[in-house]
Amino acid sequence: MSKLDRIIRLINLLNSRQSVSLKTIKTVCDVPERTAYRYLNSISGADIPVYYDRELRGYTLSSQFSRQISNLKLEEVILMVLALKALAAGVNSEYRLSVSRLISKILALISAPIEEAVRSAESRPMGNHQDHSEMLTACMIHAALECERGIVITIDNPVGDNRQVEIRRPCLLFRNGWRVTGTGCGDKDGFPLAAITKVSIM
């Protein structure tokens, strides 16, 4: 496990508990006491407000800070992270470092494993004049699968209003291209990704 992985694990730990003892930090992050203190200092240095609560006898995050991210929907967090990554690709190294720190902070503060979905989106080319809708669709479905969430898809209907389909247990299948199907889909062949104009995560 890398240092970044351990720090993200520590932030997740702080975000999911009222307080965390030094012993728990050492155990969960698999680090000695001195390193645990260094990680806590690194988190504070990244403007994540962590402090020692004497009554609880442990370290805790400011509740106001964690609420700011937890109030966002999962799809909003994904959109924000992907937008920041697109921004990072077009700025100088100083700004890129700041954007990268912000992305790490956001990912650490949400209780959903979306890192792999974001990485899969990054592997697709992001040109300046390209429509990224299909990439976003794939990323949202990937995140919903990893988080075991249902989705609502909007299907492009050239002859009338777009229709929405709620899929409680989505899955992907490959049949002449990638399609999404699942419980509640109503179509055993599923819907091609190219026909989906929007995915909302339930």
Classify residue 56: in a domain, yes or no.
Answer: yes
**pTM, rounded to two decimals:** 0.51
Q: At what angle do helices 3-16 and 22-29 cross, to 10 degrees?
A: 140
Indicate whether 114 and 158 sit together in one domain. no
Q: Which of 87-91, 157-161, 162-166 reaches the highest mean pLDDT?
A: 162-166
Say if residue 9 is in the same domain as residue 62.
yes
Give the pair of three-digit tokens for residue 22: 């030094």
Question: Are residues 111 and 159 both part of a single domain?
Answer: no
Q: Which two tokens stand for residue 121?
A: 């989106």
Which has more pLDDT, 4 or 85? 85
- Paired tokens of 130: 């390209």
Question: For residue 82, is pLDDT > 70?
Answer: yes
| Amino acid making up residue 55 | E
Q: Which of 51, 67, 83 is the last residue of a domain?
A: 67
Q: What is the tens place of the pLDDT at every residue in 139-151?
A: 788 888 887 888 8
Domain that holds residue 81: 72-122
The CATH number of the domain where 62 resides is what?
Answer: 1.10.10.10
Distances (CA, A) of 164 to 46, 152, 179: 41, 7, 16
pLDDT at 127: 52
pLDDT range class, residue 63, cuts 50, 70, 90: low
Contact 164, 155 (CB under 8 A): yes
Question: Looking at residue 129, what is its pLDDT?
Answer: 47
Say if CB 135 and CB 175 are below 8 A apart.
no
Instruction: For residue 133, give the nearest of 103, 119, 107, 153 by alpha carbon.
Output: 153
Tell which phi-psi region holds residue 112, choosing left (phi > 0), alpha (psi between -120 and 50) or beta: beta
Quick check: 39 and 6 in contact, CB under 8 A?
A: yes
Q: Which DSSP string corresponds to 22-73?
A: HHHHHHHHT--HHHHHHHHHHHHHTT--EEEETTTTEEEE-HHHHHHHHTS-
pLDDT, greater one: 127 or 16: 16
CA distance 42 to 19: 18
